[in-house]
Structure 1
Amino acid sequence: MCFGFAHVLHAAPLVFRCHALRIVHYRGVVHLRTVRNECVPNWRRWPSQSRRLCSTGPAANTGKDRKYDVDPSQFAQKVVRNFCIIAHVDHGKSTLSDRLLEFTGTIKTSKENQQVLDRLPVERERGITVKAQTVSMVYDRPGDPDSPYLLNLIDTPGHVDFSYEVLRSVAVCQGVILLVDANQGIQAQTVANFNIAFCSDLVIIPVLNKIDLKNANVEGVTQQIENLFGIDKKDVLKVSAKQGTGIEELVNAVIERIPPPSGNVDAPFRGFLLDSWYDRYRGVIALVIAIDGILRPGDEIVSHTTGTTYTVRDVGFMKPLETPTAMLCAGQTGYVVANMRSPKEAHIGDTLSHKSDEVKTLPKFQGVKAHGFCRNLPRGPVQKQRTQKCSRTASSQRSERTSYYRVQPRVGSGVASRIPGTPSHGCLLSEA
């Protein structure tokens, strides 16, 4: 057995094959596989950015010597703004998010920036937002001594089937941007989303979008906003997300009108679990807003719902991709990678805190019941295996979806799923 030669060149992987065991050492990661009896170098293509659960290389370094692009400690709570964009479907929420990202310098200005926050293939194919996405923007406001500001934006869906995403988003925000199409005017979901924000006692910034269109009725729609919502016409901002008109005024309004989050950075850590997704290499990645205290890699946290203890491996901001940071401070929103293996462990609305601290549990988020039911009936054994595999994958990636195998004498055997929302919600989640 060839168990020596632990340190090899980092430029390319070397493979030592001997007596049904292959040892691969690449960038500090050891891989063991069963092969034939031979010992040759392997120069095959290797992933340039490999994500791993267990590593001794630089990617797993969580010590103080690790360098970060963003320092969360420089953002006091008074310079943090948590807000979301709510509107009717196809009123320009994702396009406005793209312009905000470009204006704050989060992404480079380019004509190719279209639906940056819509990451699911079905979202880009159909042009609608299915999942609410979060992004942190650092904005250095000219002439402001309090700069830079940390603006946490949540882009929400506009379709009625995904109103559950809007409810989760407004629960952690202090203000909203109410976007209205200057061509179509106020629609059904505009009123529904306004009521959600109004009942949540959030600051509402009315914004009139698509003022560059030929048939835009700017004055008429502005009067509608005043009559239906009781908002002064002077407070209505006019922008064109496509042309980038009025974006600076909108960012200034977010800073000036929306209050900073409340919380105590010196108190024990308390976090609100807003969302989660599954990564096959790192397990469950939770989207958490820090209510109080500070969370660092290496801390032990406990779930107030299940009582399970987890060790934090990584924390960071979404900019819009995952950007690791040294900590998450009170009022900030970011992702947390712990040793969660299944999305069923990440309960939406759960309170996370340090294991050694006894803190008060945050009010739980009111979940939504499953209103959509769908069933897949395979015709043969091959399709049956594929259906079961796809169902397990979909359930593992989305905690809100529940799938189970069911047999009925008249219909036959198949996979049944329960989804929060309507049947169209289930179809879109199946495509995603």
Structure 2
Amino acid sequence: MSLKNAPQPGHTDPAIIRNFCIIAHIDHGKSTLADRMLQLTGVVDARAARAQYLDRMDIERERGITIKSQAVRMPWTVTDEAAVEHDVEAGPGTYVLNMIDTPGHVDFTYEVSRSLEACEAAILLVDAAQGIEAQTLANLYLAMGADLQIIPVLNKIDLPSANVEKYAAELAGLVGCDPADVLKVSAKTGLGVEALLNEIVKQVPPPIGAADKPARALIFDSVYDTYRGVITYVRVIDGELTHRDRIKMMSTNATHEMLELGVISPEQVKAGKIGVGEVGYLITGVKDVRQSRVGDTVTTQHSGAVEALGGYKHPNPMVYAGLYPIDGDQFGDLREALEKLQLNDAALTYEPETSGALGFGFRIGFLGLLHMEITRDRLEREFNLDLISTAPNVVYEVTMEDGSEHEVTNPSEFPEGKISEVREPIVRATILSPSDHIGAIMELCQTKRGELKGMDYLSEDRVEMRYTLPMGEIVFDFFDQLKSKTKGYASLDYERTGEQAADLVKVDILLQGEPVDAFSAIVHREAAYSYGLMMAGKLKDLIPRQQFEVPIQAAIGARVIARETIRAIRKDVLAKCYGGDISRKRKLLEKQKEGKKRMKMVGRVEVPQEAFVAALSTTQSAESTPKK
């Protein structure tokens, strides 16, 4: 259908608007389904079409995963026959569909929760060959918590390994509907997608809002453009926003003139105004990234709203790591880059910190290891920075014997003296797997200090296991090990539930008796020896030999638990002695020995930057990125 005949922004009756998002586990076909919808509704022609059209970042296309939610406006015409067949009460006509494609990975759940606030319904997508997985459940509970209409859809029905009846019954049992009501589609071939669009018109309730009230719009995302400044994405709840309005951000009371207003379809299309229920973008020319915060309410300066919208609950970081520029002169550039990235990624938190070994940098909070990996990658690509990151760690609460309490986000903050108790964050993990792998999963969780809380069979051959696990044990290689022990079939979802006391110690790495803060780590006492041995062995291979002997030690407090020695470079002082008296040779060797001793007392070990990069990058086993 031609876009020229589609309802224009700002003149759209809320009764014909349908706002929905697509939620699913990783690799169940959200972005491919979005591609078919874009083609069927005519907003992307065959010439411009490409796979995963809404995945805009290079990093998304390379990894095959969605990192950022994307909103797009599409027109859809319901014919007389379709209106009768699908029992569309509103009748035939052209409708406006606002669709948001969301990420599937657990680290980007916050993106999903924000997208849900801009919708009235969610398409719950399940792979017909794999069935319900951990993130399917997690995203379903998020949608139910936001009180959205759920439309169950089974995707990939064209696959030879698809088991449509079995998984349709599983999905129907989960949502609480009849298996016949589960829609079957193939996003790859387009089979059933037309019927799905008609069902969206039928099942998704139109947005509710008062057109005659003062304007109120919720900021659900924003992005920084080098030429145009901050681009803010909003969902209008009440009233309308008009081009050239003076607008006010309600949290800061800052006022701006609206320079551009429009909708995304799927590229930016200018509009004179946007009204109740519409999703669009606005540009004010503001360059200060702090002026447009996600969750803020936009209203008009004159006769504006008094009461702000609810906004979003801010996520707490799960993992902390230090990021330092390899070139110290780039510290200011890194600060500016983090400000701009935080605008696009509201879950990112950071504060400046200093390391004796690495210089000036930032302590950054992430929602998980993949989030950390993506953030570092984006900083290096989009802002042309060379960075080094310290080993990630979680937040610990330390109580001293004198009653004082310390929050530790960095091993260098671990207090000296007599410690009464150390508390670590724990998570409730949900693991879904074929029942053949129960033993392997239990063994893995036991080695990670996990505690089984319950186990349910979803079907004859699929089991859901619930564990409480220390956060520090699962942020490194737990996901990798889980996948390898279950041949890739298990899926994991987790959420933080509180804290527990644990026997944790700080392991310091000493070079010639001096601690190097970048290599310190907080680990469980049972794992301290293996960590110390691993780091000492690694540094022995990475640090070049000096003129004097260099001891590398791993220590807990004053007690050394592991040691390696880098042998000194030794000049052959006996080369000029041929034959002759042994006492002459001994004298030369003793003289060399004294020189080495003196050099060791005054010499300092310079660790090359490459050694830091190699040691720190290999201590972290990043979560493998599932492909889409």
| Cα separation, 2, equivalents of 1:111 and 1:244 | 17
**Percentage of identical aligned residues:** 38
Deviates more, 1:220-229 or 1:123-132: 220-229
Partner of 1:322: 268
Return the letter of the residue paired with 1:138: P
Describe the superposition over 1:21-59 as per-residue Cα deviations: whole angstroms up to 9, x where unpaired.
xxxxxxxxxxxxxxxxxxxxxxxxxxxxxxxxxxxxxxx
| Cα separation, 2, equivalents of 1:280 and 1:328 | 25
- CA 1:415–1:237: 2 relative to 1, 3 Å: same
1:403, distance to aligned residue in structure 2 (A): 4.2
Partner of 1:175: 121
Describe the superposition over 1:174-200 as per-residue Cα deviations: whole angstroms up to 9, x where unpaired.
000000000110000000111111122
Conserved? CA contact 2:6–2:75, under 8 Å:
no
Partner of 1:115: 52
List structure 1 runs of 4+ shifted beyond 4 angstroms.
Answer: 67-70
- CA 1:412–1:254: 2 relative to 1, 3 Å: same
Partner of 2:525: none
| Cα separation, 2, equivalents of 1:110 and 1:211 | 27
| Cα separation, 2, equivalents of 1:388 and 1:69 | 47
Partner of 2:35: 98
1:402, distance to aligned residue in structure 2 (A): 3.9
| Cα separation, 1, equivalents of 2:26 and 2:331 | 32
Partner of 1:366: 313
| Cα separation, 1, equivalents of 2:145 and 2:330 | 45
1:427, distance to aligned residue in structure 2 (A): 1.2
Q: Greater relative contact order (Cα 8 A, min sep 6): structure 1 or 2?
A: 1
1:116, distance to aligned residue in structure 2 (A): 0.7
| Cα separation, 2, equivalents of 1:100 and 1:372 | 37
Conserved? CA contact 2:128–2:156, under 8 Å:
yes
| Cα separation, 2, equivalents of 1:277 and 1:104 | 26
Deviates more, 1:109-118 or 1:170-179: 109-118
- The match for 1:275 among 208, 217, 221 is 221
Q: Secondary structure at the match of 2:152?
A: strand
Describe the superposition over 1:94-151 as per-residue Cα deviations: whole angstroms up to 9, x where unpaired.
0000000001001013595211110011100000000111111112222366632110
Partner of 2:78: 141
Return the letter of the residue paired with 2:250: H
Q: Secondary structure at the match of 2:339?
A: helix
1:384 paired with 2:359, answer no
- The match for 1:185 among 124, 131, 135 is 131
| Cα separation, 1, equivalents of 2:228 and 2:325 | 32
Conserved? CA contact 1:79–1:146, under 8 Å:
no
1:345, distance to aligned residue in structure 2 (A): 1.7
- The match for 1:297 among 230, 236, 243 is 243
- CA 1:417–1:285: 2 relative to 1, 3 Å: farther
- CA 1:183–1:221: 2 relative to 1, 3 Å: same
Return the letter of the residue paired with 2:222: S
1:408 paired with 2:352, answer no
RMSD over aligned Cα, in angstroms? 2.1
Q: Secondary structure at the match of 1:140?
A: strand
Partner of 2:374: 428
| Cα separation, 2, equivalents of 1:335 and 1:146 | 29
1:257 paired with 2:203, answer yes
- The match for 1:231 among 168, 172, 177 is 177
1:393 paired with 2:337, answer yes
Return the letter of the residue paired with 2:362: A
Conserved? CA contact 1:405–1:413, under 8 Å:
no
Partner of 2:99: 153
- CA 1:97–1:353: 2 relative to 1, 3 Å: same
Deviates more, 1:218-227 or 1:108-117: 108-117
Conserved? CA contact 1:68–1:326, under 8 Å:
no
Q: Secondary structure at the match of 1:430?
A: helix
| Cα separation, 1, equivalents of 2:158 and 2:294 | 40
User: How many residue pairs are counted as aligned between the two chains?
Assistant: 362
Describe the superposition over 1:256-298 as per-residue Cα deviations: whole angstroms up to 9, x where unpaired.
0000000122222111111100011111110011111111111
Return the letter of the residue paired with 2:310: P
Partner of 1:34: none
1:234, distance to aligned residue in structure 2 (A): 1.7
Within 5 Å, which residues of 2 pair with 1:62-73?
71-73=8-10
Q: TM-score, normalised by structure 1?
A: 0.80
Partner of 1:355: 301
Larger Rg: 2
| Cα separation, 2, equivalents of 1:402 and 1:363 | 21
Partner of 2:549: none
| Cα separation, 2, equivalents of 1:406 and 1:361 | 35
| Cα separation, 1, equivalents of 2:216 and 2:31 | 31
1:375, distance to aligned residue in structure 2 (A): 2.2
| Cα separation, 1, equivalents of 2:49 and 2:234 | 30
Conserved? CA contact 1:297–1:327, under 8 Å:
yes
Partner of 1:336: 282
- CA 1:141–1:109: 2 relative to 1, 3 Å: farther
1:132 paired with 2:69, answer yes
Q: Secondary structure at the match of 1:225?
A: helix
1:89 paired with 2:33, answer no
1:214 paired with 2:165, answer no
Q: TM-score, normalised by structure 2?
A: 0.55
| Cα separation, 1, equivalents of 2:366 and 2:246 | 32
Return the letter of the residue paired with 1:349: G
Conserved? CA contact 1:288–1:335, under 8 Å:
yes
- CA 1:91–1:304: 2 relative to 1, 3 Å: same
Q: Secondary structure at the match of 2:311?
A: coil
1:327, distance to aligned residue in structure 2 (A): 0.7
Conserved? CA contact 1:277–1:286, under 8 Å:
yes
Conserved? CA contact 1:373–1:423, under 8 Å:
no
| Cα separation, 1, equivalents of 2:253 and 2:297 | 10
1:313 paired with 2:259, answer yes
Partner of 2:186: 240
- CA 1:402–1:74: 2 relative to 1, 3 Å: same
Conserved? CA contact 1:371–1:418, under 8 Å:
no
Gaps of 5+ in 2: 84-90, 379-628
| Cα separation, 1, equivalents of 2:359 and 2:5 | 52
Conserved? CA contact 2:152–2:175, under 8 Å:
no
Q: Secondary structure at the match of 1:398?
A: helix
Q: Secondary structure at the match of 2:78?
A: coil
Return the letter of the residue paired with 1:295: L
